Amino acid sequence: MEKMKQCLKVSIYTQKGGVGKSTMTTLLASLLHYRLGYNVVVLDCDFPQHSLINMRERDKRAVMESEFHKKLAMKQFQTINKKAYPILKCKAEQALELASDFISQNSVQPDLVFFDLPGTANTQGVLTALKAMDFIFSPITADRLVLESTLAFSEVFLRLPVIEGSSPTQSLWLFWNQVDGREKTSLYDAYQHVINSLSLSIMDTRIMDSKRFRKETDDTANYVFKSSLLPAEPQLLKATRLESFVREFLKIVGI
């Protein structure tokens, strides 16, 4: 496990579906790996749907079938001369061992390993994997059920006893996702007050909502946003505030 300790273990985690867990994992991994020069590995532990594995297959088809995506992929490879980051398929209880084995056998040392874990915390292996993360980032939305569920889980999780393999310096950060610009600022201020009263950490950057978060890559769109083979385009990063989010993310994780 020695090599595993040299790179950061990160999970974008929430118990609520549809809040952007897998999407944010992909957006972050692609931007860090293809545009910012970091080496990334992703573990898709979200059995049985394995949405990130399925996304990679869709992205491959898009690059093969779309001239637009094919040209971007060729230009990217010629510019950075770097392979696509690996996406490894497993169950949650296998995740830590698989990541360690993969890293020890790979000549390229990753800077970050992202774990996309099942949202159901009582699934075998999920809590053990989460306790081993260096950083957990939990997306929240201005929905009472989502917020209450995430805050309750975060409070309980942070009080869980240390187990073998736990990260001694682990931190958990909430962040606002799918923010509707039409919603009243006072609503977020009220929620923010509750979060602060619980002494939970929350990121300053709020991810703005966009229909592109829900649209998969295909061969008809002449732009790139959610892709495991290409980074999102700069203007889309700026519009959704993902550009600022990544800067804050890197500052928090310290790389």
How far is the C-alpha of 2 from the C-alpha of 255, rounded, in Å?
A: 19
Residue 124 is which amino acid? Q
Q: What's the mean pLDDT when you consider all of the chain?
A: 89
Residue 88 is which amino acid? L
Domain count across the chain: 1
Residue 189 is which amino acid? D
Q: Identify the residue whose tokens are 């897998």.
A: 22
Instruction: Give the pLDDT score at 246.
Output: 97
How far is the C-alpha of 30 from the C-alpha of 61, rounded, in Å?
A: 17
CA distance to 70, 82, 143, 210, 212, per residue, from 75 (Å): 9, 11, 41, 27, 23
CATH number, domain of 169, equals 3.40.50.300
Per-residue pLDDT tens digits for 125-137: 999 999 999 999 9
Can you give the pTM of this predicted structure? 0.92
* Residue 3's pLDDT band (cuts 50, 70, 90): very low
Average pLDDT over residues 62-66: 91
27 or 213: which leads in pLDDT: 27
CA 91 remoteness from chain centre: 17
* Residue 223's pLDDT band (cuts 50, 70, 90): confident
Flag whether pLDDT at 1 surpasses 60. no
Strands of the 112-116 sheet, one edge to the other: 87-89, 40-44, 112-116, 8-12, 135-140, 171-176, 201-202
What are the start-end ranges of the H helices in the chain?
21-30, 51-65, 67-80, 95-105, 126-132, 144-159, 185-197, 234-240, 242-253
Angle CA 189–243–168, to nearest 5:
75
Instruction: Give the pLDDT score at 252.
Output: 97
Tokens of 18: 């549809």
What is the chain's length? Answer: 255
Range of the domain at 142: 3-253
* Residue 17's pLDDT band (cuts 50, 70, 90): confident
Q: At 198, give phi and psi (nearest 5°).
A: -90, 0
Going by the DSSP 8-state scheme, the letter that residue 76 receives in this structure is H
